[in-house]
Amino acid sequence: RKEVEQDPGPFNVPEGATVAFNCTYSNSASQSFFWYRQDCRKEPKLLMSVYSSGNEDGRFTAQLNRASQYISLLIRDSKLSDSATYLCVPSYNFNKFYFGSGTKLNVKP
Amino acid sequence: GAVVSQHPSWVICKSGTSVKIECRSLDFQATTMFWYRQFPKQSLMLMATSNEGSKATYEQGVEKDKFLINHASLTLSTLTVTSAHPEDSSFYICSATYVRGDTEAFFGQGTRLTVV
């Protein structure tokens, strides 16, 4: 079983749309959770941490369900610059990350 | 945020030669660094955990004699791809954290290796 399962997409959405990504993880010992974004041929960059109570950062909202081992990311009012691959990353061992395939988002004009 | 610098950003080498990639934490000390590899259109795959002052821990299926890791100081880890072959061509990325615990990881810019 994979450590992290994500729908690879691509999700093709128009500008201004709301889009949601989901992710499931297999290691119940995971303690920290992050969403990273990766642009083509670049390193991953932290988008936001995910807290148990859920958290919001501008147009981005993240939710965590530990019981179901499920993480979500909601992007409102999509911008062209949001086009990237979004990586769901649970961490349980000093930030040793096992990445899933990521979900590719294409925001169209 | 903390800065991790990786060098070189790209390299082309001939089959059979060795290539060294450096990963430096510029403004913090990193007792642990991680090395990843990413093939085109695939996910980042963890290769090994680099521990300062001790041997690296390799993931299953990664040849330790092929990918030599040295973490001689708290700010520098190196990955040497020995006797490189075209199938080793990939994007190699390191990451580091500065707090033992659950904080974000900081990634280097990555090194694109092409073996011809």
- The DSSP bridge partners found for residue B34 are B49, B95
Q: What angle do CA B16, B24, B96 make, to 5 degrees?
A: 105
Q: Indicate the residue type of A29.
A: A
pLDDT at B24: 94
Nearest CA in chain B to A46: B104
Mean pLDDT of A32-44: 91
The span from the CA of B93 to the CA of B52, in Å, is 18
Q: Is B89 on the interface with A (CB under 8 A)?
A: no
Best interface-test mutation with B: which of A5, A94, A98, A99 has the largest number of B CBs within 10 A? A94
Which residues are CB-neighbours of B40 under 8 A, at least 6 positions away? none
Q: Does residue B103 surpass a pLDDT of 80?
A: no
Model confidence over B16-74: pLDDT tens digits? 999 999 999 998 888 789 999 999 888 899 999 988 888 899 999 999 999 999 988 88
A19 pLDDT tier (thresholds 50, 70, 90): very high
Q: Is A100 on the interface with B (CB under 8 A)?
A: yes
Q: Does residue B100 surpass a pLDDT of 70?
A: no
The span from the CA of A94 to the CA of A5, in Å, is 21
Using DSSP bridges, classify how beta strands B10-13 and A60-65 pair: parallel, antiparallel or unpaired.
Answer: unpaired
End-to-end CA, chain B: 37
DSSP state letter for A24: E
Does A97 contact B105 at a Cβ distance shorter than 8 Å?
A: yes
